[in-house]
Amino acid sequence: MRTSLIAAAAGSLALTLGLTACGADTGGGSGDTLVVGATPTPAGEVLAYIKDNLAEKAGLDLRITEFTDYVTPNTALQEGSLDANLYQHTPYLEDFNASKKTDLVPVTEVYLPPMGVYAKKTKDVRALRPGATVAVPNDTTNEGRALQLLASRGVIGLKKGVGGAATPGDITSNPKKLDIKPLDPAQLPRSLDDLDAAVINNNYALDAGLSPKKDAILLESPKGNPYNNVLAAKKGEQDDPRIAKLAELLTSPEVEKFIEDEYQGSVLPVAGR
């Protein structure tokens, strides 16, 4: 499995500045060509699969422009040099709109780079010993996401309605008196030997040689997950027939199978889940 699988995926709201689009293919579409921006992995690879295998039969002239950061694809979409983009989840998109005064909307959910709970001495998060130390990412977005994942199995309870903004201070029940320990996200895999469990972002797990599918004792599901990565468009253009066709292909059984076969559980398709 490639350890660099989704290091560029939008699993965090941190804005990566100062990077530019790869290559010179950044002009807007001409005629019926649909120009879609994407980070290379997995978005660019998923779109390339569609371009090579499905687009022509569907009557879609697809052009892919790759970017190495999270800011430029949305700026280009707002300014009109892209027709759509694929690389981010909805919380990031909403935060971007608020901070940059853009007007972008999600069209359809496509895949999830899942966050997982990892442990060396147990195979079930509900079997953690009383007083166990469980580390979570210490950045705002991923800390709340990690706590929500733990709450999904009932090992902790959270204040109603707190959502992804949850902090350890929002824990309302902790039957096993787990010691929730916020750590730098990149440090979590390296600290796993000294912890009972850790909630680790997909890219850091992969970089450490962990398999989300095989090694995680609890893994996020794409079903109803706000962190599913989405195809996005400028408001008012989301019903463009070309964008609708791409959305249909992105959620097709063929693309679902491609994601399952290519990423082996490290990226989860939303379709069919």
> How confident is the chain (273 residues) per 10-residue block, as mean pLDDT?
42 37 42 91 95 98 94 97 96 93 98 96 96 93 92 96 92 98 94 97 89 94 91 97 98 97 93 65
CA 180 from centre of chain? 24
Do domains 33-113+224-269 and 116-219 share one topology? The answer is: yes
What 8-state DSSP symbol labels residue 28? P
- Asked if residue 182 has a cis previous peptide bond (ω within 30° of 0), the answer is no
pLDDT at 267: 93
**CATH code for the domain defined by 116-219:** 3.40.190.10
33-113+224-269 topology per CATH: D-Maltodextrin-Binding Protein; domain 2 (3.40.190)
Helix axes 90-100, 72-79, angle to 10 degrees: 70
- Which positions ≥6 away from 218 have C-beta within 8 Å? 116, 117, 125, 149, 150, 152, 153
Nearest to 142 by CA among 214, 193, 92: 92
Q: Which helix (H) or strand (E) segment is 118 a member of?
A: strand 116-118
- Treating both helix axes as pointing N-terminal to C-terminal, what angle do 45-53 and 253-263 enclose, rounded to 10 degrees? 130
Hunting for tokens 């082996």 — which residue is that? 264
Q: What is the pTM of this model?
A: 0.77
What is the Cα Rg of the chain in Å?
A: 19
Burial class (CB in 10 A: 0-12, 13-18, 19+), 117: buried
DSSP state of 195: S
Give CA separation, 204 vs 12, 52, 94, 123, 211, in Å: 12, 30, 24, 20, 11
Q: Are strands 116-118 and 218-219 parallel, antiparallel or unpaired?
A: antiparallel
Please list the alpha-helical segments (H only) found in the chain.
45-53, 55-58, 72-79, 90-100, 140-151, 188-191, 202-207, 212-215, 241-250, 253-263
CA nearest neighbour of 6 among 35, 54, 46, 52: 46
Spatial distance between the Cα atoms of 203 and 79, rounded to a whole number of angstroms: 30
Q: So what's the pLDDT on residue 13? A: 37
CA pair distance 71, 78, nearest whole angstrom: 11
Residue type, 117: V
Domain boundaries, the chain: 33-113+224-269, 116-219
Short-list 261, 264, 235, CA closest to 94: 235
